Structures are given as structure tokens and as C-alpha cells.
Amino acid sequence: MSQTILAVEPKRTHEESNAYAIAVRQLEAAAHYLNLDRSMLEVLKHPRRELIVNFPVKMDDGSVRVFTGFRVHHNPARGPAKGGIRYHPEVTLDETRALAMWMTWKCAVVNIPYSGAKGGVVCDPKRLSVHELENLTRRYVTEISIMIGPESDIPAPDVGTNPQVMAWIMDTYSMHKGYTVPAVVTGKPVAIGGSEGRLEATGRGVCVVAHEAAKQLGFTLEGAHVAIQGFGNVGSATAKLMHQAGAKVVAISDVRGGIYNPNGLDIPNLLHCAGRDGCIHAYRDAEPITNEQLLELDCDILVPAALHGVITARNAPNIRARIIVEAANGPITPDADEILDEMGVLVVPDILANAGGVIVSYFEWVQDLQAFFWEEEEVNAKLEKAMRKSFAHVVQTAEQNKVSLRMGAYIIGVKRVAEATTIRGIYP
């Protein structure tokens, strides 16, 4: 008699499933290298403020659903709060805390005058109509309006949100004020004060640091084999720009799984298929693979561009990439980090690798405040300059301290935030 055996996913540890636990452990490691006193570490561990909102939304069928949302500010020492808004069924307060903390370090590493924030709503945007999504967004923004503003907290897109959502945020905030306030949000359409180059900014930054990392190991993007987990805004932009740089993108995945062709995928055709059908699996010239298999492919550069905690102590020994560029936030757990470091895998950390988005968000904010806008070529040039400068500083710091690039980035970011916190002092 035949028997069907179901595969059971290994139980995730608390750290693997809890992004905030990862973020705190990374901070503690950096604090050790910096010899931070205990008091400063305690200040930096905790978000400055957190808001939880439960709000009703009228659905298309006339029913009313209550959604839960969050907005978290981490440490305000270096400037207004900055961070995306995530719409996802698995958004949690701890995840939002972690993302806000990572944003603080990210802004400090690339030396822009922001502190970290993050927001999110527990929902599946794919199951909402456009009208329901607009209603949800406008009500959520109204609920968190006590925290946001062009001088206090400037949201941006993240997983599950896009320029249209940012447009609704700007309009809602502006309606409350009685006048148009473009600088309250970034990542919005160009027609209402968005910046040229913002849509591809995170992916462009990923490609810049991937190029710089490849040079560290003696090769270029031309002909390099690249695997990308995730095909949202960041993953698709990265694939497009990697392809334009001459790389062979051999694998792509989304939430349903991945596709693989060792000879390289036709990225323009794949983008067309995804845009037409909303799914990469309409592309035929490739074999199906799982997201887990994609991470373990033999390639030059691996780009995790999905969610946190996908590379753990369990699968890290199976990684065969020479370079990992963290386009997502927190895709590698600390235990996996140690394994990869011992294996000689060069990891470009998230707080550097995906900073292109917040850099151009800063450019957008500046342009909105002065009502003077730059051409796309200028935006891209400024972005690439900032990413190269920050990468070089991280490499220099890592070499001086004989640590990984992640620790080099954390030494820079945490030191800058701690210094600003110390100089400002404690009120009262």
C-alpha cells in the first residue's frame, strides 16, 4: 500500500521569525566593537514612540472590516523620521520596530539627515479592490496623522504599497491641512512632486554596490551569473539594471516560486510577461524551482529581495554564491552571517545595499521643499556617487577593524547615531 509523505517545514527559531530579535542582536554586536556604555545601548535598543491603530474600513459589499496598523519612530537624533509603509498579511509590531531601527542605521551609514521610522497595515492588498485600498489608506493616514508631517515623519513605499498609495497619503494629509503638502511623503508620482529616478532607485543602488563588491573579488557584472529572490519593485528593477549591465540573470522568483535558466533569462521578455499576466510563471523558457532552491544556486551574485530571515543557520552552508547583496531588509540571520563569513561569502548588508531608495527619497523631499526639480540623469548620478562613497567607507572601516562589511556598516551607523544622541543630551 502506497503512502503519501508530506514535507514538513522546519520550525523557525524565535530569532528567525522575529526581525526585532535580529535587529537587537546586530546592534549589541556593534555596541561591543564600539565599546558603547550600557546606558547608550539601552537608549538605542528601544523605539522612541510607537502607535497602534485599529480602524474601520467600509468594503465594496457594504460590510465594515477593522484593520490594524502601526507606525514606529526609532531614534530622532539625526533628523525627521523616515521609513516606508508596508501592506502585508504578516505585518507585526516587532517587525515594524526592527525595520524602523534598520532605517536609522541605513540613513546614518549613507549620511543623510534622517532618523528611522516604519509603518504597516495587516492586510493583503491583492485581495482588496482599488476603492477598498484607497479607503484603507486614507483612514490609516488619518489615524497616524499625529505622527507624520514634512518636518517630523515622511513615509515612503514598501512591500505592498506603490506610488498611487503615496499619492493618496499626500492628498489625505493635504486635505486635513487645507493646502497641498508634497513633502509629506516620498515615492509619489512625478506629476504631483515625485522625483525622477525614484521608482528604480533601490534597485539601482543594489546594482552599484554589486558592481563595487564584484571588483573587490576581481570580476565585473559583465557575464556574472545573478539570482534574485523576489520580483516586486526592487527585484524587478534590479533584474532590469543587472541585465543592462551585461549580467546573466539566471533565476527569479516571487511568492509562488521561481524560474531558472543557467544560460540566462530574457529579462525584457520576463518583465513583459509579469506586467501582462501579473506572474513571472507565464515566462516559458525556464524550469521551475522553489524559493529555497534559488537561494542555493551556483551563482556569482545572490540578491535576496523579498522578506527577512530567508537565509538561516540551516541553509547557509548550502549557499554557493560568491557575493550576497541584501536588497531586502534582514534576509540573513546573525547565525547564518557567521557561517557565511567563515565560508568566505562576501555579504553586502541591507543597511548599505538597499539604501538607494532612501537616498533618492531624501532628494525628492529636498526638491519638494524648495519646489525645484532635477533631471533624472542628475538624480541617478547623485545616487551612484553617494552609494560608491558609502561602500568605500564601509570597506575601509571593515578592513581597519578586521570585521565583515555588515559590522563595518554598523560601526559607522551606530557611531553616528550615538554621537548625535550624546551631543543632543537627554531632556529635561
Give catalytic residue positions: 118
Q: Using CA atoms, how far apart are residues 195 and 190, in angstroms rounded to an integer?
A: 6
Q: Using CA atoms, how far apart are residues 52 and 93, in angstroms rounded to an integer?
A: 8
- Grid coordinates standing for 108? 546614518
Pick the closest to residue 421 from 146, 150, 41, 99 (CA basis).
Answer: 41
Helices 19-34 and 93-109, interaxial angle, to 10°? 40
Yes or no: say if 169 and 206 are a contact pair by the CB < 8 Å rule. Answer: no
Distances, alpha carbon 168 to alpha carbons 66, 182, 184, 233, 350, in Å: 20, 11, 11, 19, 28
Q: Name residues whose C-beta falls within 8 Å of residue 354's C-beta, 6 or more positions apart in sequence.
A: 106, 202, 205, 206, 234, 326, 327, 328, 329
- DSSP for 327-396 reads -SSS-B-HHHHHHHHHHT-EEE-HHHHTTHHHHHHHHHHHHHHHT----HHHHHHHHHHHHHHHHHHHHH
Interior angle at CA 236, CA 267 and CA 360, nearest 5: 130
The amino acid at residue 247 is A
Distances, alpha carbon 107 to alpha carbons 5, 82, 241, 246, 277, in Å: 48, 9, 23, 30, 36
Yes or no: say if 118 and 107 are a contact pair by the CB < 8 Å rule. Answer: no
Q: Using CA atoms, how far apart are residues 50 and 109, in angstroms rounded to an integer?
A: 24
Q: Using CA atoms, how far apart are residues 247 and 239, in angstroms rounded to an integer?
A: 9
For the chain, the C-alpha Rg in angstroms (whole number) is 21
Q: Using CA atoms, how far apart are residues 135 and 354, in angstroms rounded to an integer?
A: 30
Q: Using CA atoms, how far apart are residues 116 and 127, in angstroms rounded to an integer?
A: 30
